[in-house]
A and B are shown apart, each in its own frame.
Chain A
Amino acid sequence: MDRKEILERIRIILESVLNHKDFEMKEDLKASEVQGWDSLSHMMIISRIEDDFNIRFKMREINKLENLKSLIDLVQSKV
C-alpha cells in the first residue's frame, strides 16, 4: 500500500474523530498542533486505524510516535 493511500485513509479517520478539517496533512504534523487531538482522541484514532487497516500496534510503538510521518511509517510497516 503506498503512502498516499495510507495518508488519505488516515485523513478520513482524523476528520471523523476530531470532527473538523482544520489541519494540514503534512508529514511533520504533530497531535499538539491539532485542536481536539488529546489523549482520548488519540486512542480513538489509533483504534480506528487498527480496525481500518486490520493491523495491531504495540504500546511501545505508540509511545514512540512523534508526528504524522512516524505514524504513516508505522502503518506502512504493518500492512
Chain B
Amino acid sequence: MPLYSLEFLIFLSIVFILYWTLFKNTAPAQNTLLTIASLFFYGWVDWKCLSLLIFSTLFNFYFGRLIHKNNHARTRWLLLCGGLTVNLGILVYFKYFHFFYTSFIGFFGLYDNATAHSTLQIILPLGISFFTFQAIGYLIDLYNEETEPCPRLLDFAVFMTYFPKITAGPIERAEDFIARINIKREFNDNQAVDGMRQILWGSFAKLVISNNCATLTNPIFDNYLHLPGSTLLLGAFLYTLQVYCDFSGYSNIAIGISKLLGIPLMRNFASPFFSTSIREYWRKWHISLSSWMMHYLFTPLSFSLRRYHKMGLIISVMTTFLLIGLWHGANWTYIVFGSLHGLYFIPSILAGTAGSASTTYSRKIQLLKRIAQMLGLFILVMLTLVFFGSNSVPAAVQYLSGLFSPSLFSPPVLPPPAGLAKVLATTLFILLLFTVEWLQKDKDHEMHITHITSPALRIGIYYAIILAILLFGSVIHIDFLYSQF
C-alpha cells in the first residue's frame, strides 16, 4: 500500500488509536504493537519476503549478542566477518546477482538471447538496502564497542521493521533509535501537530511536484533522440526536482508519521540545493545514507590509507561514492552516478582544504558568488541524475550529447502529454518549493512554522497546501522511486 493511499491511511489511523489507547501504558506494549503493525505492513506490501525480514531481525539480534560476548579479538573479528558476509550476501543475492551475472557474461561476450531468457529473475525485497544497512551498522558498532547489545528482541524488532522507515529510510543507527523506543512514549500534542505538518509538506512535494514532474520527464526521457537540447535540459532539470521531491517528500512523510507515534527520526534532507560545494551538498542530501557511508566505510578506509595522503583520500572517496551509486541500484548507470560525485570531490582533496577562505568582498559580490556556486552545483548534480534516470550508460551519454548540442539554443519542443501550461504550473510550484526552503532553511523542516503566531494564518497555509494537492496533485500511482532500493 503506497504511503499516500487510503488503505495506508486506514492502517495508520488504527495503529495510531490503538498505540495511544490500549497499548499506551508501557514501552513493551507500544513496541509490541509497532512490531505487529510493521510486520503486517511489510507483509501487505511484500508478503513473499516477510520471512527474509524476520530472518534478518532474528539473525542480527542473536549474532550481535555472540559478537559482544566474545572477548577474544580474533574470534570477534571472524564473527563480525561472518555476520557481514550473511547480511551482504543477502543483499548481493537479491539485489545484485542478476546485474553481476549479466555484466560478467556480457563482458566475456557470452551474452545472447537464450542467456537473457534463462537468467534468474530474483524478487527484490522491499527496503532490503535499508534494513540490511541498519543491521550491518549494528554489528559493526557492537564489534567496535560503540554500543551495547540490544537487551530485548522486541526493541530490536522495532528497530529493524519499523514501518514508517522500512520502505525508504531514514537509515537509523541502532544505539540512537533503540534509546528512543525503550522508554514509554507520552503523547505530545505539539509533536503530533508538527508531524502532521511534515506529512502535509511531504505530500505536497510528492503529489504535486514530483508526480507532475514525472508526467513531463517520462516522455522526454523516452524520446530524447528526437528532441532538441533545450528540451533535454528542461527534462534534466525537472528530473532532478522529481527525484528530490519524491525522496524528500517520502522522508518528510515518514518522519511526520513517526512523530505521531512519539518517535523522532533523523532528518534526511536539509535544503541540499542551497549548498555551495559538493561536500556541503552531501551533508544535506540523503543525510542518513551519506553519514552511514562516511562512518562505516569512508572513515575506516581513509584512516587505513592515510599514509598515502591525498591519494589515500581520493581512493577512499571514490570507493565510497562508487558504492553509494551501487547502493541505489544494480545498473552501471548508478555506478557512473556515484563515481561522478566522487570525482567532484577531487579538487577539494587536492587543495587540501575544506573550502575557500573568507574574503573581504562586498555583500553584493558575496551574494552573487554564492548564487553562482549554488547554480554551478545544481548543474553538476543535474548531470549526474541524467545517468540516474537513464536505462543505460550509452543512453545517458547520448542524452547529454543531445543536451550539449547546438539545439540547446533552439526553442523547446514538448512531447505529449506535456504541455506548456503544465510546464509553467510545475515550474511555479518548484519556485514555491525553493522559496519555502530558503525561508525555512534554519528550521527543523520546511513546515516548522510555530514562529507564525496567528492560528488563522497557519490554518490558511494548511488549507492552501491541501487545495494545491487537490487541484494539481496526481494520485495516479507513481510509486516512490526509492522504495525500489
Q: Do A and B touch, yes or no (CB under 8 Å, in the complex)?
A: yes
Q: What is the interface of chain A, defined by CB distance below 8 A to chain B?
A: 16-22, 35-44, 46-47, 50, 59-60, 62-64
Question: Is the CB of B19 closer than 8 A to any CB of chain A?
Answer: no
Whether A38 contacts B354 in the complex (CB less than 8 A), given A43-B306, A44-B313, A47-B309, comes out as yes
**Is B353 located at the chain interface by the 8 A CB criterion?**
yes
Question: Contacts of B306 on A, CB cut-off 8 Å?
Answer: 43, 46-47, 50
Task: Determine whether the beta carbon of A20 is less than 8 Å from that of B357.
Answer: yes
A41 to B: closest C-beta gap in Å: 5
A19-B353, A40-B302 given. 11 additional CB < 8 A pairs?
A19-B356, A20-B355, A35-B354, A38-B354, A43-B298, A43-B299, A44-B352, A47-B306, A59-B304, A60-B144, A64-B146
Contact A18 B299, beta carbon cutoff 8 Å: no
Known: A47-B309, A63-B146. A42 touches B299 (CB 8 A): yes
Given A17-B354, A38-B283, residue A46 in contact with residue B349 (CB < 8 A):
no
User: Which A-B residue pairs are the 8 nearest by beta carbons?
Assistant: A36-B354, A39-B294, A19-B353, A43-B302, A41-B354, A47-B306, A18-B354, A19-B357
Identify the B interface with A (CB < 8 A): 144-146, 279, 283, 294-295, 298-300, 302-304, 306, 309, 313, 316-317, 345, 348-349, 352-358
Question: Roughly how many angstroms separate A77 CA and B166 CA in the complex, as a whole number?
Answer: 43
How close is A66's CB to chain B, nearest CB, in angstroms?
A: 12
Which residues of chain B come closer than 8 Å to A16, judged between CB atoms? 353
Name 11 interchain pairs, CB-CB below 8 A, sorted by A.
Answer: A20-B358, A22-B358, A35-B355, A38-B354, A39-B298, A43-B299, A44-B354, A59-B304, A60-B145, A62-B303, A63-B144
Question: Which residue of chain A has the shortest Cβ distance to B145 in the bound complex?
Answer: A60
Report yes or no: B357 in contact with A40, Cβ–Cβ below 8 A: no
A contact residues around B345 at 8 Å (CB): 40
The CA-CA distance from A43 to B313 in the complex, in Å, is 8
Nearest opposing residue in chain B for A41, CB measure: B354
Closest to A58 in B: B303
Query: Which chain A residues lie closer than 8 Å to B352 at the CB level?
Result: 17, 44
Complex contact B309–A37 (CB within 8 A): no
> Which residues of chain B have C-beta atoms less than 8 A from A18's C-beta?
353-355
Give the distance in Å from the alpha carbon of A53 to the alpha carbon of B146 in the complex. 27
Chain B neighbourhood of A42, CB < 8 A:
299
Return chain A residues, CB-CB under 8 Å to B317. 40
Contact of A38 among B279, B300, B313 (CB under 8 A): B279
Q: Which residues of A contact B355 (CB under 8 A)?
A: 18-20, 35-36
The CA of A38 and the CA of B357, in the complex, are separated in Å by: 16
Interface contact A39-B313, CB-CB below 8 Å: no
For B302, the chain A residues whose CB sits under 8 A away are 40, 43
Cβ–Cβ contact A46 & B144, under 8 A = no
Closest to B320 in A: A39
Query: How distant is A65 from chain B, measured CB to nearest CB, in Å?
Result: 11
Q: Which residue of A lies closest to B291 (CB)?
A: A39
Report how far A17 CA is from B353 CA in the complex, Å.
5
User: For residue B300, which residues in chain A have a CB less than 8 angstroms away from its CB?
Assistant: 59
Once the chains bind, are B354 and A37 in contact (CB under 8 Å)? yes
Q: How many Å lie between the Cα of A38 and that of B294 in the bound state?
A: 9
A34 to B358, CA, bound (A): 14
Across the interface, which residues of B come within 8 angstroms of A41, CB to CB?
Answer: 354
Check B353–A40 contact: CB distance below 8 A: no
A40 partner residues in chain B, CB cutoff 8 A: 279, 298, 302, 313, 317, 345, 348-349, 354
Residues on B with C-beta less than 8 A from A63 are 144, 146, 299
Task: Output the nearest chain A residue to B279 by Cβ-Cβ distance.
Answer: A38
Chain A residues near B349: list those with CB within 8 A: 40
> Given the complex, which residues of B lie within 8 Å of A22, measured CB to CB?
358
* Complex Cα spacing A40 to B146, Å: 21
- Report Cα–Cα, A64/B145, bound state, in Å: 10
CA distance A35 to B294 in the complex (A): 17
Complex-state Cα separation, A44 to B310, whole angstroms: 9
Question: Hey, which chain B residues are within 8 Å of A17, CB to CB?
Answer: 352-354
Q: Would you call B283 and A59 a contact (CB within 8 A)?
A: no
- Give bound CA distance, A39 to B353, whole Å: 12
Q: Is A43 a contact of B354 with CB atoms below 8 Å?
A: no
Closest to A14 in B: B354
> In the complex, which residues of chain B have a beta carbon less than 8 angstroms from the beta carbon of A46?
303, 306
Contacts of B354 in A (CB 8 A): 17-19, 35-38, 40-41, 44
Hey, which chain B residues are within 8 Å of A50, CB to CB? Answer: 306
